[in-house]
Structure 1
Amino acid sequence: MATIFDIMPRKSHVIVETGSGETLRVEVRALSTGAVADLFARYPDLLKIVEDLVVRGTEDAAIDWSTVLRSAPAAVASVVAAGTSDAAGRPAAEAAALELDPDIALQLAQEIIRISFSNFLQRMGGMGGALSANAAIANAGG
C-alpha cells in the first residue's frame, strides 16, 4: 500500500538559457498545499488565474503571462521561489527570483503551476468545468 511519502512532490525540469548563453536544467517541484494557501492569500490574482483555468478550461498558452509578470512580479517570484527552494530558503529565493530575466522567471513559473495544478484541473474539467476553485475549496471544508 502506498503512503503519503510515495506521492510527494511531483518534480519536473525546465531548460533555460542564461544571459551568457549557457543552458541549464533547473529542477522545479509542485507547490505544497501550504505554499498554495500562502500564495493565494498573498496574491488573490493568482487564485483568479487558477479559477480561470478551472472554470473556462483555459490552456496555459491562453494566459497572457507578460501581463501577469507586469502586474504581479512579486507573485511570479514567489511561485518560482516556492517551486525551487525549501521553506527555510524561501525569502532569499524570492529576492533572487525578482532579479531573474523575465523570460526565465515565466518559464519556471509556468511549469511550476502546470505540475502543481494539472491533476486538480483535470478533475475539475471532468466535472464539466462548472466548479470554481473557490467552490472546490469551500466544498473541501477549507
Structure 2
Amino acid sequence: MTEIVSEIAEILKSSNDLLEAELKILRLFSSFLCEVLGTSFERLVQELVKDADAKVLRRDQRTIQFLFGEVTFKRRLVEEITGCHVYLLDRHLGIKPCKRYSPLLLARVSALASKGVMRMVASAVNLLTPTSMSQQKVA
C-alpha cells in the first residue's frame, strides 16, 4: 500500500498538470489491477489442480482483454480420469475457448453498438479503455 502511495506522490511531483498526472495514475492502477488479477487466476489454478484428481499435461499462457486492461496468466491443461483434456480454470470461470475479450467488456460494447455506429463504438472503446478494438470486432 505504501508503495502505491509513494508512486502516486512521485507521479504528482513529476507531472506538469493534473491531466498528465491523472493519465499516469490511471495507467498505474490499470497495470496493477491486471497484474493482481493474473496472479489471482494462477493461484486459483493451483488450488483447482490440487483439489482435482487429474494429471497436469502442460502450462499454457492466455491473455484476456478486460475493461481495465490486458490480463495475462498461465493455466494448466489437465487430463481427467475420464480421459478428457480440460483447462480447469476455464471450466470453473466459464471462459470460452479462443475468446479474447471478457464477458463484461463484450456486454458493454454490445450495449453501445445497439445505439451507435460501429466505427464510433470502436473509437469510444479505444478512447475510454486501455483495450483496442476494431470496428469489425465490434460488429
Q: Report the TM-score when normalising by structure 1.
A: 0.30
Q: Report the TM-score when normalising by structure 2.
A: 0.30
Between Structure 1 and Structure 2, the one with more helix by share is 1
Between Structure 1 and Structure 2, the one with more strand by share is 2
- Structure whose CA Rg is larger: 2
